[in-house]
Amino acid sequence: MSNEVSMSISVKEASDLSDQGNIDRRKPDYLDQLEAEAIYIMREVAGQFERPALLFSGGKDSITLVRLAQKAFAPGKIPFPLVHIDTGHNFVEATDYRDMLAEKTGSKLIVRYVEDTIKAKNLKEPTGKNASRNWLQTFTLLDTIEEFGFDACIGGARRDEEKARAKERIFSFRDEFGQWDPKRQRPELWNLFNGRIHKGENVRVFPISNWTELDVWAYLQREGITLPSIYFAHERECILRDGRLLYNTPVIEKDPEDQIVTRQVRFRTVGDMTCTAAVESSAATLEEVIAEITVSRISERGETRIDDQQTEAAMEDRKKGGYF
């Protein structure tokens, strides 16, 4: 977002309407519209599928999804389990938060480990600098879908994140091998989502497709949601590598060029530790985080994700292979 643009983040800006003269004063805020759309999509999943699941990573997007699901089905419980594909290289703050949230919402939590897939399938673990298990999650994910017979998996991907995601449908059809075919996506008209599939196929559903990163932050703030502490500035020992700050954890293989530094940082996204970089920051509250991101000239993935930078079509290729 540009410097000139100031985000409106207050609960409902009555002031926003004051200079509109004779225009309808009930004009809803865009966050209300995005929220209503996402809740509608959640309910379509519950209404159309027999065994849906919500893919939960512990990051802010999936925390948003859980909030939306709570609102969609209140006063009932969320009618599907939370599923986490754990690389074993997650931030402990995120996994603790995951356990706490599952308990608080009374949801069933299913965790499957990439480690187990590596053993069972005798996969070769990537090694060396910038090695990550992130891509291996696909195998575990597809196995988990098969194990439980999930016909729909709700994910927190947003179209503003990445250029291949910008092309994806809200109900994104996957064949029996979990593959996305970007050249043959189903038409998706109005709000009439077609979730019909054959056995073995599944649909990935993205209720916050139309949200931007700032919308997510603004929503979390509006809803008064407490986030895992790593989203706020804290002192952390980091590896400084190629201008990026990675958490200094044993799961990241060191390189002679690496420098170990202690910095005040926060995370803008929370994924696998091996491919998520921190940003230097002093923002201690959601308000301050939003202020920083509003003036930031670097995109979320550009600043924090190492896995996208490898080739021009890294995300597209991963998705074709069955990734989230």
Partner 1 sequence: MDLLRFITAGSVDDGKSTLIGRLLFDTKNILADQMEAIERASKSRNDGEIDLALLTDGLRSEREQGITIDVAYKYFQTPNRKFISIDAPGHIQYTRNMVTGASNADLAIILVDARHGVAEQTRRHSLIASMLGIPHVVVAINKMDLVGNSEDAFLEIAQTYKDLANKLNIKDLTIIPVSALNGDNIVERSKHMPWYTGETLLSVLENVNVLEDKNTTDGRFSVQYVIRPQTDELHDYRGYAGRLQSGSLKKGEAVKVLPSGTESKIARIEFGGQEIEEATVFESVTILLEDDIDISRGDMIVSVDNSPVVSQDLEALICWMDDRKTLKPGDKYLLQHGTARTKCSVRSIEYQIDINTYEKLDEVEKLKLNDVARIVLRTAQPVAYDAYQQNRANGAAILIDETSNVTVGACMIE
Compare residues 1 and 109 and give the one whose CB is closer to partner 1.
Answer: 1
272 binds partner 1 (CB under 8 A): no
Compare residues 35 and 86 and give the one whose CB is closer to partner 1.
Answer: 35
Q: Which of 14, 21, 24, 250 binds partner 1 (CB under 8 A)?
A: 24
**Residue that has been written with the tokens 């986030």 in this structure:** 227
Provide the CA 130 distance to its chain's centre, in angstroms: 21
**Residue that has been written with the tokens 């230097």 in this structure:** 280
The C-alpha atoms of residue 289 and residue 158 are separated, in whole angstroms, by: 19
Site for partner 1 in 159-188 (CB under 8 A): 159-160, 162-164, 166-167, 169, 182-183, 185-188
316 binds partner 1 (CB under 8 A): yes
Pairing verdict, β 82-86 and 171-174: unpaired
The residues, ordered by sequence, that sit 6+ positions from 34 with a Cβ below 8 Å of its Cβ are 208, 210, 211, 215, 219
The C-alpha atoms of residue 191 and residue 176 are separated, in whole angstroms, by: 25
User: Count residues contacting partner 1 (CB under 8 A)?
Assistant: 71
Q: Which of 23, 224, 235, 259 binds partner 1 (CB under 8 A)?
A: 23
149 binds partner 1 (CB under 8 A): no
Smallest gap from Cβ 116 to partner 1, in A, equals 32
Task: Supply the angle between the helices 213-222 and 30-48 in degrees, to the nearest 10.
Answer: 90
What phi and psi values does residue 235 have, to the nearest 5 degrees? -80, 135
Binding part of the chain for partner 1, among 82-90, 195-203, 251-259, 260-268 by CB under 8 A, reads 195-203
What phi and psi values does residue 296 have, to the nearest 5 degrees? -70, 140
The C-alpha atoms of residue 102 and residue 146 are separated, in whole angstroms, by: 22
Provide the CA 69 distance to its chain's centre, in angstroms: 15
The site map against partner 1 for 108-147 (x = CB under 8 A) is ----------------------------------------
Look up residue 107 and give its amino acid. S
50 binds partner 1 (CB under 8 A): no
Q: Which strands make up the sheet holding 82-86, listed edge to edge?
A: 109-113, 82-86, 52-55, 152-154, 202-205, 171-174
Site for partner 1 in 63-82 (CB under 8 A): 70-77
Q: Helix or strand or coil: residue 260?
A: strand
Smallest gap from Cβ 46 to partner 1, in A, equals 5
Smallest gap from Cβ 254 to partner 1, in A, equals 26
Compare residues 36 and 284 and give the one whose CB is closer to partner 1.
Answer: 36
292 binds partner 1 (CB under 8 A): no
Binding part of the chain for partner 1, among 124-132, 146-154, 278-286, 292-300 by CB under 8 A, reads 292-300
205 binds partner 1 (CB under 8 A): no
